[in-house]
Amino acid sequence: MGKRTMLIHFTDILAQWSLDSIKERVAVDSSGQSNNGIINGATLETGIISNAFKFDGTDDYISMHRVSLNNLTAWSIEAWVKPEGPGIIYSEGNPAVTLQVCLKDNNSIEVGTWDHNRTGNWDWFNTGANVIKRNTWNHMVITLYNDGSVADSGVVSCYVNGVLVNSGALGSEYNTLTKEAAIGGNIGVKSGQGLSPFKGCIDEVTLYGCALSAEEVLQNYQKR
C-alpha cells in the first residue's frame, strides 16, 4: 500500500511514527517535531501501510524522550494495532508510569492516569469487552477533551475502526514532570509494576494536541 497523506490537524500533530524502518534502531518522527524514538528489540513485519513493528511481549518497546501529552486539555492517540495478546500499547512516565493505554485480557481497551497531585491513585477508563480483535489489524483512536479548566482530565472517547465504542470521564491530573513516552511497553520495561509489554504489531502511531472529531477519526480510518 502507499503511504497515507495526513490532511487534517497538521499543525496539531505532536509526533507521527510510521514505523517502517529499523535503520540505526531509530523510529523516525515524520511530524517535523524531532520526536524520534529509540527501538529496543522490535522487528519489522508487514504493516497495514508498508511495514510495521512487531513486539515480542517480553522486552520490546520504543522509547521517546521528548514527547508527552501531559498538561494538555485535549489530545488524541491514533494507532493501528494487530495484537496477539494483552499488553501496553502506549505509555508515559519515567521513572514511574503515569499514563497508559493497554489491551486487556477480555480485548477491551483501558486508559489509566496516575493522579499524582491529589489522591495518589490510578484513575481508569475501560471500553468494555471485545472491542479489539486479535491477530487482525484494528484502527484505534483515543481522545481526551475538557473545557480547559483542568489539564489531563475530562471525557475520554475510544474509537475502533472508525466507530465510537465507548466514552467516559477520566478525572486524574497526572505527573507534571512526565516528558517520556513509550510504544509497546512502559519506559524501560520495569519490573514490579504489574505492566505487560505488548505482543503483536503496531503501525502508524500519531499523537495530536487536540481531540479528533468522530468525522475526522472515520476519515483517517478510511485512508488506510
Q: Is 187 helix (H, G, I), strand (E, B) or coil?
A: helix
Q: Is residue 1 part of a domain?
A: no
142: left (phi over 0), alpha (psi -120 to 50) or beta: beta
Average pLDDT over residues 76-86: 96
Whether residue 83 is contained in a domain is answered as yes
Residue 195: inside a domain, yes or no? yes
Beta strand pairing call for 99-103 and 74-83: unpaired
Whether the pLDDT of residue 110 is over 90: the answer is yes
Burial class (CB in 10 A: 0-12, 13-18, 19+), 56: middle
- Collapse the DSSP code of 125 into the 3-class scheme (helix H, G, I; strand E, B; otherwise coil) and give the result: strand
Residue 4 within any structural domain of the chain: no
Q: What's this model's pTM, rounded to 2 decimal places?
A: 0.88
Residue 6 in domain: no
Residue 212 lies in a domain: yes
Angstrom distance (rounded) from CA 93 to CA 100:
9
Residue 16 neighbours by CB under 8 Å, 6+ apart: 6, 29, 30, 31, 205, 206, 207
- Report yes or no on 33 lying in a domain: yes
Give the CATH number of the domain where residue 102 resides: 2.60.120.200
> Over 8-49, what HEC string results?
CCHHHEEEEECCCCCHHHEECECCCCCCCEEEECCEEEECCC
Phi-psi region of 50 (alpha: psi -120 to 50; beta: other; left: phi over 0): left
Total of domains in the chain? 1
* pLDDT grade for 194, boundaries at 50, 70 and 90: low
Can you give the residue range of the structural domain that contains 34?
A: 12-222
Contact 37, 64 (CB under 8 A): yes
The per-residue pLDDT for range 54-72, each reduced to its tens digit, is 999 988 999 887 777 877 7
Rounded mean pLDDT, 106-128: 83
Strand order in the sheet with 87-92: 26-27, 37-40, 61-64, 181-183, 87-92, 99-103, 109-114, 122-126
Q: Which of 46-50, 69-73, 189-193, 194-198 has the highest mean pLDDT?
A: 46-50
**Per the domain annotation, does 217 fall within a domain?**
yes
